[in-house]
Each structure stands twice: as structure tokens, then as C-alpha cells.
Amino acid sequence: MENKISVGLLGLGVVGSGVIKLIENHQDKLAHQLGCSVQVKSVLVRNLEKARDVEINGTVLTTNPDDVLNDPEIDIIIEVMGGIDETRKHILKAFSAKKHVVSANKDLVALHGPELQEAANQNKCDFYYEASVAGGIPILRGIVEGLSSDHIQQVMGIVNGTTNYILTQMDSEGVSYEDALKEAQELGFAEADPSSDVDGLDAARKMAILGRLAFSTSVDLEDVEVTGIRGIELEDLQYGDKLGYTMKLIGFANFDDHELEVNVQPTLLAKSHPLAAVKNEFNAVYVYGEAVGETMFYGPGAGSLPTATAIVSDLITVIKNLRLGVTGNQWIEPHFKKALKTAEKRHAQYYVRLFARDEAGVFSTISSLFHERDISFKRILQTPDKKREYAEIIFITHDTTLENFRNALENLHELDAVMEVKSYYKVEGDAVT
């Protein structure tokens, strides 16, 4: 057997630098676990002259991808360059050259994961991507291996640290969305253009990956319904707090009766829910299995070394498979044909905040409208303002179907007595106040 495994790295940014540091610093441990040393032989970069904060002794830097992808001495490719189209071509080329691939690229895996996995399988190659979801949290391995004997029914989580930081600051410090976003950008938790995070696309891509693995069915990105956190007002967090809830951007995936529901949306979580205590930039994924019941995976969702830890863990798995001669065998075809739940089968509680005329009989009219659609109220707050002759009404419904709630909401907009439906959000859990 070889006493050295050579690795090629695509990308040398923050995460790529972390990968090199871990491999160099953990040589003794790697040799103990694997019976061989691990060497980063060459790295694809965009700029050879750029200053680096990592030592690359003995490693060749190149701007030509073929120097990495076609090198017969390189056994495994680690992809941390990001992007989609160009990166997809590189990975497919790596598989054609019988090279195994470890990736941290959630965008690529969400959009082209099944295609890449099939290409890996055809070439008897491994393809692992633990770092694509929740950084250093071993959630994918936990689902695929740790819970492989169970029937997973639900996965929900905080899978975007930027939005969780913003909502935590709004909740704990009482600052506006705009101010919390600005602070997140200054601290490096949010990009200059935060659209992918605050509009929910980053979380949606991660939920597509989680849904595929948890439920053994096809989940495309367009199957994930997405609502971001733009427009969330401090008042909703404050009213939620009074009612025993806290606001989080939640990725939610449910699978029962062989029907799938996947969405990302701001959600009021009961403070007793395990995810409600997850603060700032941290991530957590809550998994409910038929046999095991409730489990939760918690930790840093991003960062150089946490993400690099997940990548190197995948690298170790690939090397073990190589030395055992069992590479290219981890992929299993989806077990279930995809079927999406319709609105009449999707159940939840809902929070609504509206402004209505402060007149006798108005709330009774609103209540009757919901009652006609078999929706009852669980909690109610009302704050009259005689100066403006309107009342601010906040209520949380009991469990109802999405179809009934949408119909009630549409009719609510049509009531003359209702001046404005200010906001509405999904509610998870039973609050204790």
C-alpha cells in the first residue's frame, strides 16, 4: 500500500487555507488513523502573486486547472473555490480521471448534486460534501450514517448564521433590521451584498440537500418555498416575546405518507423549543425520527477551521475507503418518488398582526371569518389607539391547513373594517407564558 496520499486543492481562500493548516498540523493523527501521510501536492488559485496567510511549503500553486485535475499522482480533489458552472466542469473532469472529490460547495450540490453523484458512481469514485451544510456540524454524516436505521420524519433548523445573528440582535438589543444588518456586515458575518442570506436562498440550498439525504427522495431547489427576513419589524419580535415566542429563519422539511414539504421562512418558535436558544451566528439542526425521537446538532455554521474540519473528515473517509478498496459504493438511488404536499395537507399555526377600526363588532367579524374556515384563535392581543381610531390586533391560530389560512387571509384583506394586514408568520411549538 502507498504510504502517502496526494491531494489537489481547488481554491485557496479562507476555507482552503484552513484545510492546509489542518492537514499540516494533524499529520501525526492522520498517519495514526490512516497508516499513511497526506500531502497537498498542488493548489489551483486565481492569482499567483496574492499574499497568503498560510505556509505552502512543498505545494505547487497554479492557475491552470489541468495541472491539478490531470496530475496522475493526485488521488483526491478538494473543491473550495465556490461557483457553479466552472466548478461543475472541474468536478466532472476529476471523476472522469478517476479522482475522488470532497466539496464544500452548497450551491453546486443543491443544483447539481444528483448529477455529480451519478458521475462519481459511474467512475467508482467517492463524492462527499459534509461541509456544504452547517459548516463544522456533522449533520449530513449524522443523517446518512448515525440515523440510517431510523425513519426520519422531520428536519428543521437554523442553517444560516447571518440571519440568525441579525434576528438575535433585533431580539436582544431592540435594534431595527437595518441596524442589525449593518452591524453584521461590519463584523464580517454578512457580505456587502447580503441578498443570498437575508432572502433565504442560502438556507434553501442547504434544505434541498438535507431533504434529499434525510428522506431518500429527489428534492430540487425549486421545490423549496422561500421567504427571507427583509421587512421583519421589531414590533413583531416584541409581540412574539409577549406571547412566548422568538423569531428565527427556519428551514423546514417534512416527509410523511411519502409526501414532501420543504420551505424556508421566518418562524415564531416557542421559547421552549430547542432551536429557540440558538443565538447569533451559530447553526443548529433539529431532527425527528420515528424511533429515536428528537435529536439536535449544534455548532458553528461557518468559518475557516470549523468548515475545514468537516472537509478533512470527509477526506479521511475517502482515504479509508481507498485503502480498503471500497470507493464509489456510498451512493444509493432515491428510495421514494418525489411527491409534494398540497396546501390542504400542510398544517401549521400562524401569527397575524393587523390594524382594524376600533369599533364594536369588528373583532367578532374577524373571528367569524376565520371560524367559517375552521380556524380558531389560540392567543389574542389587542391594543386600541383612540387618537387614530384603530386597534392593533395580534392573534395566533390553532393548527390549520395552509389552504384554509390563505383563504382566510385573502378574505381578511377584503374587509372594510381592516385597514392593513401588517404581517403574518408561521408558528412552531406551544408557548408557556
Q: Which element (helix H / strand E) includes 424?
A: strand 418-428
pTM to 2 decimals? 0.94
Does residue 133 register a pLDDT over 60?
yes
Does residue 1 register a pLDDT over 60?
no
Question: Taking CA 385 as the corner, what is the angle to CA 383 and CA 387, rounded to the nearest 5 degrees?
Answer: 175
Higher pLDDT, residue 387 or 254 = 254
The mean pLDDT value for 136-149 works out to 92
Catalytic residue among 106, 206, 248, 426: 206
Domain range summary for the chain, segments of one domain joined by +: 4-136+304-324, 149-300, 344-428
Please give the Cα distance from 178 to 173 (Å, whole number): 13
Does residue 273 register a pLDDT over 90?
yes
Question: Taking CA 414 as the corner, what is the angle to CA 405 and CA 235, rounded to the nearest 5 degrees?
Answer: 65
Is the Cβ–Cβ distance between 266 and 247 less than 8 Å? yes
Q: What is the pLDDT of residues 339-384, one digit of tens each?
A: 999 999 999 999 999 999 988 889 999 999 999 999 999 999 988 7
User: In terms of DSSP bridges, do strands 259-270 and 225-226 run parallel, antiparallel, or are they unpaired?
Assistant: parallel
Q: What percent of the chain has pLDDT over 90?
A: 87
C-alpha cell, 427: 408558528
pLDDT of residue 433: 62
What do you get for the CA distance between the two ends of the chain, in Å? 63
Please give the Cα distance from 180 to 247 (Å, whole number): 14
Helix 362-371 and helix 402-414, axial crossing angle in degrees, nearest 10: 150
SS3 175: coil
Does residue 2 register a pLDDT over 70?
no
Is the Cβ–Cβ distance between 350 and 424 less than 8 Å? yes
Q: Would you place residue 54 in the very low, low, confident or very high pLDDT band (cuts 50, 70, 90)? A: confident
We find that the CATH architecture of domain 149-300 is 2-Layer Sandwich (3.30)
pLDDT of residue 301: 84
Higher pLDDT, residue 74 or 135 = 74
Please give the Cα distance from 272 to 55 (Å, whole number): 47
Please give the Cα distance from 59 to 41 (Å, whole number): 5
C-alpha cell, 278: 440558538
Biggest alpha carbon distance in the chain? Answer: 85
Q: Would you place residue 37 in the very low, low, confident or very high pLDDT band (cuts 50, 70, 90)? A: very high
Q: What percent of the chain has pLDDT over 70?
A: 98
Please give the Cα distance from 72 to 383 (Å, whole number): 72
Does residue 182 register a pLDDT over 60?
yes
C-alpha cell, 386: 383612540
The CATH H-level superfamily of 344-428 is ACT domain (3.30.70.260)
The mean pLDDT value for 315-342 works out to 92
Selection from 425, 402, 24, 12 nearest residue 231 by Cα: 425
Q: What is the pLDDT of residues 84-110, one digit of tens each?
A: 999 999 999 999 999 999 999 999 999
Is 206 marked active-site? yes
pLDDT of residue 386: 62
Residue with cell 448515525: 146
DSSP 99: -
The mean pLDDT value for 2-6 works out to 85
Please give the Cα distance from 329 to 49 (Å, whole number): 40
Q: Would you place residue 398 in the very low, low, confident or very high pLDDT band (cuts 50, 70, 90)? A: very high
Class in CATH terms, 4-136+304-324: alpha beta
